[in-house]
Amino acid sequence: MIEGTGFGYIIVNGVRYDHDIVVHVDGSVTKRKKELSKPYKKGVHTPLAPPEIEEILDENPEIAIIGSGQYGALPILDETIKLLEEKNVKYIIEKTPKAIEEYNKLSKEKRVAGIFHVTC
């Protein structure tokens, strides 16, 4: 369960993470591998690019939830969305606080993976 977030952090199962995270289908948490998306960076923020999504697609989620930051500033490439659609994975993109609500609700009954950006 994701208990909360604020600028620069997220709390999952009582553990505070001070970086972007991936919550896998099995509920485990790892640090977001932004280096996979760095080659796609054009501005200030590292976008969410297909190589990062491929990591969670290997887990066969029914739903991918993307927390786009406290203010929704995480760039999400069109190619990323296209990849989700090609794999028939439903997706929800919301600002991180709202994405957490969706994750907590849906992960009780569905195979859900999430990527959560914790700053802008």
Q: Which residue spans within 7-107 are E strands per DSSP? A: 9-12, 15-17, 21-23, 29-31, 63-68, 90-94
pLDDT of residue 17: 99
Q: What domain count does the chain have?
A: 1
pLDDT tens digit sequence for 26-75? 999 999 999 999 999 988 889 999 999 998 999 999 999 999 999 999 99
Q: What is the mean pLDDT of residues 5-11?
A: 98
Which range marks the domain in which residue 87 is found? 2-117
Please state, in angstroms and rounded to a whole number, the distance separating the CA atoms of residues 48 and 81: 10
pLDDT of residue 88: 97
Q: Is the pLDDT of residue 24 over 90?
A: yes
| pLDDT, mean over the chain | 97
Say which CATH number the domain at 48 has.
Answer: 3.40.1230.10
pLDDT of residue 45: 87
Q: What is the pTM of this model?
A: 0.96
